[in-house]
Amino acid sequence: MKKRLMAFVSVMAVCAAGAAFTPASSMAMDPILFVHGWSESASLWNTMIGRFEKDGYPKSYLSAYSYNTSQSNKVDAEKEVKSHVESLLKTTGASKVDIISHSMGSLNTRWYIKFDGGESKVDDWVSLGGPNHGTETANACSFQVSCQEMEVGSTFLSELNAGDETPGEVNYGTWWSPCDEIIKPNESVILTGASNHKTSCLTHVGLTTDETVYKEVREFIK
């Protein structure tokens, strides 16, 4: 009896050890596509991606890219977001991705979900300081199509926000700062039907590097 008990304990110990070192890629997680905003680049995400890696996400599950932010968000959605989603799904073998967007990246990714077939490809969607209802600061760069689309009351935003602002079975979440110097008004980020989070006094870019925001986002996309 004693030998059987010892054998059982040994087996359980091995199983526990195996569970503790289970590769992240075999866990229930979606790959993440990171989409930056206007006049930014993929390097914006270095801090957040590093934290996800530290928390067990494989590098192959974390994808960020740079794109031409002066063109229409409709073009970004169809040519950039869609192709990168498909590539990430193919690389990882996953059935859906999570999207974490910052600023204008919230608009082209939302357009992809609503109009380019993204509803069936996206599980969780996150907007960090996204001008979802426009921002007054976009008037300063109205010589670019993308900025025209970010202006409060633009035709683009009217179309994007018509009807259901959070369509499909996608889990939508937004984070907005009362001290955001770029998104004016700050509450423009908030979407009907989403889980909306007010942060501490953070700058626009600070939303992507703040540790508390990261922890909340990580928990949201679990």
Alpha-carbon distance 121 to 48, whole Å?
A: 22
* The token pair that represents 105 in the structure block: 């990246």
- For residue 54, being part of any structural domain is answered with no
Between helices 211-220 and 46-54, what is the axis angle to 10°? 60
pLDDT for position 135? 98
- For residue 4, being part of any structural domain is answered with no
CB 87 within 8 A of CB 55: no
Strand arrangement of the beta sheet that strand 171-176 belongs to? 62-65, 32-35, 97-102, 122-128, 171-176, 195-198
- For residue 21, being part of any structural domain is answered with no
pLDDT for position 27? 54
- For residue 78, being part of any structural domain is answered with yes
pLDDT for position 2? 34
- For residue 62, being part of any structural domain is answered with no
- For residue 42, being part of any structural domain is answered with no
Query: How many residues are given for the chain?
Result: 222
Q: How many domains does the chain have?
A: 1
Instruction: From first to last of the 222 residues of the chain, give the pLDDT tens digit.
Output: 433 333 433 433 433 434 333 334 435 799 999 999 999 999 999 999 999 999 999 999 999 999 999 999 999 999 999 999 999 999 999 999 999 999 999 999 999 999 999 999 999 999 999 999 999 999 999 999 999 999 999 999 999 999 999 999 999 999 999 999 999 999 999 999 999 999 999 999 999 999 999 999 999 999
For tokens 């600070």, the residue is 206
pLDDT for position 39? 97
Alpha-carbon distance 165 to 192, whole Å?
A: 6
pLDDT for position 28? 77
CA distances from residue 162 to 57, 147, 159 in whole angstroms, order as listed:
36, 20, 5
Task: Domain of residue 138: give its range.
Answer: 67-222
- For residue 155, being part of any structural domain is answered with yes
- Specify the CATH number for the domain of residue 157: 3.40.50.1820
74: DSSP letter: H
- For residue 81, being part of any structural domain is answered with yes
